[in-house]
Amino acid sequence: MSSPQSQSIFTMPVLVEVGQHDFERSARVLRARAGIVIGNHKHEMAARTLGMRAKALGMGSAKQYLDHLEQNPHSPEWEAFVNAFTINHTAFFREQHHFDILAKFAKSRKKPFSVWCAASSTGEEPYTIAMALRESCPQPDVGVSILATDIDTRAVERAQEGVYSLERVQPIPEGYLKKYFQRGMGRHVGMVRAKSAIRDMIGFQTFNLLSSNWPTDQKFDAIFCRNTMIYFDKPTQTRILERFASMLKPGGLLFAGHSENFTYLTTAFRLQGQTVYELA
């Protein structure tokens, strides 16, 4: 058996051979298509992904698979390729202070009041936004709306269903859980589903933040894009931030992730505090 130094493929078992050149090429392809930057520490994950996707299409090598993608820009396989590299780490009421700020902000704004959740993942974040707005806005059924988008088609489908395990909904206050979720019966025991009171407030769409055609011409009072910009390079982050600015109403808010700092990237926003930015 050859030593690790002499091996031309990754040590993580894969279904087809994946070499260093394949990894570097896949990183370039992913970045060009979705803006997602993957570092060298993602070697094994990329190898596993390329191997599985190539095998699923009956191909014998990662090179053949990547050739297929680049030669067929409209192939449905692009969706599976991008989905495989997205990370859906989210939770209900994650960074609680953001929802407290949103609730207070909503009370000070005129209707219609709208929020864009620009990286909605499997739905925990937009449903939390919906609960916060229902609690803070009089007559939330009138003039209050949420657009929730994500690049991962599977995540959007799960979000639309609004079904979660009891473990996933543990961060939700008990009163909110009883008010806004219905417990499953029979084969659905151990699961809950968001009630129409919050589901009907949200419109879900699949959307790539690098797309030249943004999902709507609507202006928003607030945009949530948390823990997503870290996957883009600095020029891409700046470009997206400036487009966010163009989609906010005067005085609108941008909510960022706890590890994200945009103050040095653009003058379109000023830091309000606690990773909340106001349109300048």
**Cβ neighbours of residue 159 under 8 Å, at least 6 residues apart?**
120, 121, 122, 123, 126, 148, 150, 204
Q: At what angle do helices 153-161 and 77-85 cross, to 10 degrees?
A: 80
Other beta carbons within 10 angstroms of residue 147's beta carbon come to 21
Q: Lay out the sheet containing 191-194: strands in order across.
A: 163-165, 191-194, 181-183
- Is the CB of residue 86 less than 8 Å from the CB of residue 36? yes
The C-alpha R_g of the chain, in whole angstroms, comes to 21
The Cα–Cα gap between 17 and 10 comes to 8
Q: How far is C-alpha 211 from the geometric centre of its chain's CA atoms?
A: 15
Structure tokens belonging to residue 92: 């209900």
Enumerate the known binding-site residues for S-adenosyl-L-methionine.
88, 90, 94, 125, 150, 208-209, 226-227
What is the three-class DSSP state of 236?
Answer: helix
The Cα–Cα gap between 207 and 203 comes to 12
**Cβ neighbours of residue 81 under 8 Å, at least 6 residues apart?**
29, 30, 33, 49, 53, 69
Enumerate the known binding-site residues.
88, 90, 94, 125, 150, 208-209, 226-227
